Amino acid sequence: MKILGLESSCDECAAALLEIGNWKLSAQGRPASGWEIRTNVIFSQEKLHRKYGGVVPEVAARRHVETIMPVIEKALKRDRPDLIAVTRGPGLITSLQVGLQTARALAYVWNVPLIGVNHLEAHLWSFLLNSKSQILNPKQIQNLKFKIQNLLPAVALIVSGGHTELILVKGAGKYKLIGQTRDDAAGEAFDKVAKMLELGYPGGPIISHFAEAGNPDRIKLPRPMIDSADFDFSFSGLKTAVKYLLAEITPTGSLSQAFINDVCAGFQQAAVEVLVSKTLKAVKKYKAKSLIIGGGVSANQKLISTFKSQLSKLGLDFYYPDKEFTGDNAAMIALAGFLNKKRASRKNWRNLTAEANLNIAV
């Protein structure tokens, strides 16, 4: 089975071809009953939105219209898929519509099944695409759902520029939302703090870079909701605390590099502490066997190393995606389509719709 994945929920236009199924050993040595990411093409709009300090929805959608067919052609080469999986939400509605309408048209023309994928669910299982994954081994895929069951129950943290959610995972497609941000997502807060410091966009990797040279203890910042009884998050107050700090200490707007490094380190430390503390409380309450994280902020090495340290003390498994699968990509959409392939239909091209606020669980 060749699955074409399409992703256009925000500012990345992506297409990937994931091949899964039984085949004889070829001259290239492809394994029987295995899987392979044949292509994973991503057209990023980072440079386009950098001058605005964030994504402009109308601009993103227009660029998707221009790039989606060239991206698909590059991903498919001369292949024709057996299944099309496309992001239907959540995300920017104008961006989602470009990918979805393209997928509907192709499904109709090629007469192949179509399935809509939840973007957050795709992030949740993106760690399975890791080249050294012990769960989704490239040499075997038959017992994937059985192997997934061995990780459960699990707590998943989906953390990105648009989402910060804690999910209790009882199985593929069986999710319960147990916590979420009440305002800014963690990645959004990173972007806004980077903008305040005039460091550029996107803010996550930039702040992480400068934080390496900074002292996280020199700048005292709040840890919003870290001691609340629930599993919700809030990052707006942390972002605002940085804003007031800059207004008070540097009214002229002139910042030394050492000060910028310390602010980045202090902000990153505060955000990581909140994310880790809340997540570990959920892991303990729900007696989870493992922790899964995904989304753009899961590329943050401070976050990963802190989780590794804490989870090793608890003796729990920890799963996170390789860096290439942390951001928005179509390979994870194709995989999520495979996991939910029973919902695919040749009739879906007629009525599949985009949902900007699509939930992964209730």
250 within domain boundaries = yes
174 within domain boundaries = yes
pLDDT tier for residue 31 given thresholds of 50, 70 and 90: very low
Nearest to 156 by CA among 286, 66, 62: 286
- Which has the higher per-residue pLDDT, 145 or 163? 163
Judge if 201 and 297 occupy the same domain: yes
Judge if 23 and 165 occupy the same domain: no
pLDDT tier for residue 139 given thresholds of 50, 70 and 90: low
What is the Cα–Cα distance from 10 to 208, expressed in whole angstroms?
22
215 within domain boundaries = yes
Judge if 329 and 305 occupy the same domain: no
For the entire predicted model, the pTM comes to: 0.92
Which phi and psi angles does 138 have, rounded to 5°?
Answer: -55, -20
214 within domain boundaries = yes
What is the Cα–Cα distance from 135 to 124, expressed in whole angstroms?
14
Q: Quick one: pLDDT at residue 118?
A: 97
313: CB partners within 8 A, 6+ apart? none
Q: Is the pLDDT of residue 333 over 90?
A: yes
Judge if 28 and 98 occupy the same domain: yes
Judge if 169 and 298 occupy the same domain: yes
Cβ(73)–Cβ(105) under 8 Å? Answer: no
Residue for token pair 């999710």? 175
Here the CATH number for the domain that contains residue 312 is: 3.30.420.40
What is the Cα–Cα distance from 223 to 271, expressed in whole angstroms?
7
Q: Quick one: pLDDT at residue 252?
A: 59
Judge if 81 and 201 occupy the same domain: no
102: CB partners within 8 A, 6+ apart? 6, 68, 69, 72, 86
Q: Which one-letter amino acid corresponds to residue 57? A: P
213 within domain boundaries = yes
81: CB partners within 8 A, 6+ apart? 2, 3, 4, 17, 110, 112
Judge if 20 and 110 occupy the same domain: yes
135 within domain boundaries = no
Q: Quick one: pLDDT at residue 263?
A: 96
- Which has the higher per-residue pLDDT, 131 or 290? 290
Cβ(136)–Cβ(35) under 8 Å? Answer: yes
141 within domain boundaries = no
Judge if 50 and 193 occupy the same domain: no
Judge if 109 and 190 occupy the same domain: no
Task: Report, as an integer, the average pLDDT of 73-78.
Answer: 94
Q: Quick one: pLDDT at residue 253?
A: 60
pLDDT tier for residue 142 given thresholds of 50, 70 and 90: low
Q: Quick one: pLDDT at residue 98?
A: 97
Give the tens place of pLDDT for each residue, 86-108: 999 999 999 999 999 999 999 99
Mean pLDDT of the chain: 91
Per DSSP (E only), the strands in the chain are 2-7, 12-21, 34-44, 83-89, 114-118, 154-159, 164-171, 174-180, 290-294, 317-319
Per DSSP (E only), the strands in 181-310 are 290-294
Judge if 109 and 161 occupy the same domain: no
Q: Quick one: pLDDT at residue 29?
A: 52
Judge if 167 and 294 occupy the same domain: yes
Query: Token digits for 337?
Result: 């389509």
Query: Token digits for 104?
Result: 């509907």
Judge if 304 and 208 occupy the same domain: yes
Query: Token digits for 18?
Result: 């994931």
Q: Is the pLDDT of residue 25 over 70?
A: no
Q: Quick one: pLDDT at residue 259?
A: 94
137 within domain boundaries = no
SS3 content of the chain, % helix, strand, coil (to 5): 45, 20, 35
Q: Quick one: pLDDT at residue 28?
A: 54
Q: Quick one: pLDDT at residue 109?
A: 97
For 162-201, give one letter per residue: b (16+ CB within 10 A) or e: bbbbbbbbeebeebeebbbbeebbbbbbbbbbbbbbebeb
pLDDT tier for residue 23 given thresholds of 50, 70 and 90: very low
For residue 97, the tally of other CB atoms under 10 A from its CB is 19
Q: Is the pLDDT of residue 351 over 50?
A: yes
Q: Quick one: pLDDT at residue 113?
A: 98
Query: Percent of the chain scored above 90 by pLDDT?
Result: 79
Q: For the chain, what is the domain count?
A: 2
Q: Quick one: pLDDT at residue 290?
A: 95
* Residue ranges making up the domain that contains 47: 2-130+325-351
Alpha helices by DSSP H, listed for 37-185, are: 46-50, 57-76, 93-110, 119-124, 144-149
Q: Quick one: pLDDT at residue 150?
A: 87
What is the Cα–Cα distance from 163 to 182, expressed in whole angstroms?
10
Give the tens place of pLDDT for each residue, 194-233: 999 999 988 999 999 999 999 999 999 999 999 999 999 9
Q: Quick one: pLDDT at residue 268?
A: 98
